[in-house]
Amino acid sequence: MEYAYGRVSAKDQNLDRQIAEFIKFGVSERNIFAEKKSGKDFERAAYKRLISTLKSGDLLIIKSIDRLGRNYDEIIFEWDRIVNGIKADILVLDMPLLDTRVKKDTLIGKFISDIVLQILSFVAENERTNIKARQAEGIKTARAKGVKFGRPKTQYTKQFLAVVKQYKSGLLSQKQAAFLVGMSRQGFSYHLKKLYT
């Protein structure tokens, strides 16, 4: 049986190109496992479902090695688990040398496949490290320019502040104060704490 696994890191990225490649290759849509999840580890729901589905003799197709993951040690471990543990084959569409069906019984075929896998796994993790470094640089530069991250501080209206003043001076109960500003008692209490912390 042929299966395929597609992945993108962000929710705003598109899986269509990978899925189209799998269908073009001949993989049935019901056998395509795809998700929008970081490749930093293999704690991914669709990937786990795929692994529990794979059987000996099956073929797993991926578009490129970095779609499998971006952690060098974990890519090598998962590759070994699929090929030697489950005894399924893997084909990487963007790198035909990574096809465990070809020359897997010859020493030279295994040697070439292992070297290419290790190089590409290194490249995938290195790219992830570079992305993180670029993000950190961007954040540092933005902070130096005065850009604030996170939620903006809540701005309270004059009406809210006047009601809080009356509540603090004992002229209003918490229930009355909350009613006047259109909040539940819990909501009023939350914003009161936020105002004074």
Q: Where are the domains of the chain?
A: 2-141, 158-195
Across the chain, mean pLDDT equals 85
Model confidence at 138: pLDDT above 90: no
Mean per-residue pLDDT, 132-149: 81
Provide the Cα torsion 91, 65, 117, 96; round to 10°. Answer: 40
Chain segment 147-184, per-residue pLDDT in tens: 877 777 778 889 989 999 999 999 999 999 899 989 99
pLDDT at residue 45, rounded to an integer? 95
Q: Exposure of 172 by Cβ count < 10 A (0-12 exposed, 13-18 middle, 19+ buried)?
A: middle
Catalytic residues: 9
Distance CA 6, CA 25 (A): 14
- Homologous superfamily assigned to 2-141: Resolvase, N-terminal catalytic domain (3.40.50.1390)
- Per-residue pLDDT tens digits for 31-78: 999 999 988 889 999 999 999 999 999 999 999 888 888 787 888 889
> Whose CA is closest to 78, among 117, 130, 105, 127?
117
Phi, psi (deg, nearest 5) at residue 162: -65, -40
> 144 in the Ramachandran plot: left (φ > 0), alpha (ψ -120 to 50) or beta?
alpha
Asked whether 45 and 22 are in contact (CB, 8 A), the reply is no
- Both tokens of 162, joined, read 């006047």
- Cα separation values, 79 from 82, 157, 178, Å: 5, 58, 59
